[in-house]
Structure 1
Amino acid sequence: MDRRILLRGALAVPAAGLPTAAPAHTAGAAAPPAFDVLIGEVNSGRILLFDRDKPFTDAHVKWQPNPAGPGHPTEHRFGDTSGDGQVLLAVTGTWDSGTASVYRRRDKKLLWSANVPDYPHAIERAAGTGVVVVAGRSKRPGGGDAKGGSLHVFRPTGGHSGSLVRAGAPIPFHQAHGLLRDPRLERMWAAGGFGLRAYRIVTTASSARPVEDAARRLTGFHHPHGLQPDHQHPGRPLVTDTGGVYAVAPRRCGGRPCAHAGR
């Protein structure tokens, strides 16, 4: 990140400058918490859930949707809904086409799927509205310099994920790669091309559309790819790009968004 670039609406900090992780487990210390690991296997196209303490082999698969969708999995995450309980959001595909899907976790049922006319790389759901957004990069090879890319928005017409319908035309977004819902800011972050943008999801009884919060737009990244929450610092997403990992920390000056560039 060029320190001379003024980043509007947020502060990007290299991950090397973040607080260090907790020390390794030692005798007498509390055992680390148990958790599961969700993995996308490119060769088989499967999405697999494992206990982190067991071998990642077929004999230890705890859960998997069937089928996972055509192509290879690019992103998959669980989310809670009021109508369907916990669901798996997933995108799969190739350079030529892609599919977005929602599965109910308790019975693995495919509740909804839709074609995405890009190479989808991320999927996220806006809790409260039920709106689902899919980020897709160019269908052509060429890495981050290839042209094209869009955000695809789907809105529910009922109380269940199966009622999702397309909400208008795709929104152009150069090389869209990452999505993350920030419930504290009530924004949907989207990463791609050379920047990061934040959107408010504006809904009515018959529409849903992302409206950019331009004051929070960041530039100066080199092909940002992934977005993940920083669980130690809620409200500060972590962004990966070709050069490293950054924490995006929103700042305010005199009641208005502002930013300071630097390490």
Structure 2
Amino acid sequence: MAAWFKRTKKGIQTATEDKKDVPKGLWYKSPTGKIVDAEQLEKNFYVSPEDGYHVRIGSNEYFEILFDDNKYKELDKNLSAKDPLKFEDKKKYPDRLKEAQDKTGLKDAIRTAVGKSKGKELVIACMDFRFIGGSMGSVVGEKIARAADYSLKNKVPFMIISKSGGARMMEAVLSLMQLAKTSVKLAQLSDAGIPYISLCTDPTTGGTTASFAMLGDINISEPGALIGFAGPRVVRDTTGKELPDGFQTAEFLEEHGFLDFITPRKELKNKVNLYLDLIQNQELRA
């Protein structure tokens, strides 16, 4: 009988699918203290209705938001990382990979897919922060490169949704090579006149910011996203200056010309397709 009254976890807990980054449970509490029903949160595109806080979500949710009827074909689904550097810290790299794969159901920190959005084909590469902090390794670079090749071959617009802590330390220089590799592929899309949209979400940092996340024909963001290269402490120590309020937020970057616009998640699909229609119609008129 006593076991009935023993609380094993804080708060009210119910089982939910592990596919979402939204915490398991009946309620979600935003950083500002607003409480929202989990079901209501899902219906509102994982945005807290009272304060507009955008909860971190993954590729499953972004594909559902952007692709018509959640129908798409995943590209290079089974691509996974190797361990050529034989990296070992507290754990061997293959063990870290296996642990992340078992926990998330993902092969690596990015998924790529092609489908229709508002009736027109679109290739999307979406990062997942749950997989080793969305770190960028050789698989992330290779899948972006292959997705760009698909866009180039089929003349389909390309979109990358960034959510990353930066380069993957377990792959060292191989990870850093992906900055140049992805940048070259995006330059090829530009030369061919194929639109590329970069969406920065929370967080977009490190080598991701230093490469594909800031190379879009249009660079956009969700409200309140953290976007930067080095952390605020490193920047402050390097420059020897105090940082302004809101430094490295999406709103700060938009104000200083690094972003074209910020869009709430519920408007994302319409805004992306509006931009693509404008660009492609301009090309037809020319």
Verify same fold: TM over 0.5.
Answer: no
> Structure 2 length as normaliser, TM-score?
0.28
Q: Which has the larger radius of gyration?
A: 2
> Structure 1 length as normaliser, TM-score?
0.30
Bigger RCO of structures 1 and 2 (CA < 8 A, at least 6 apart): 1
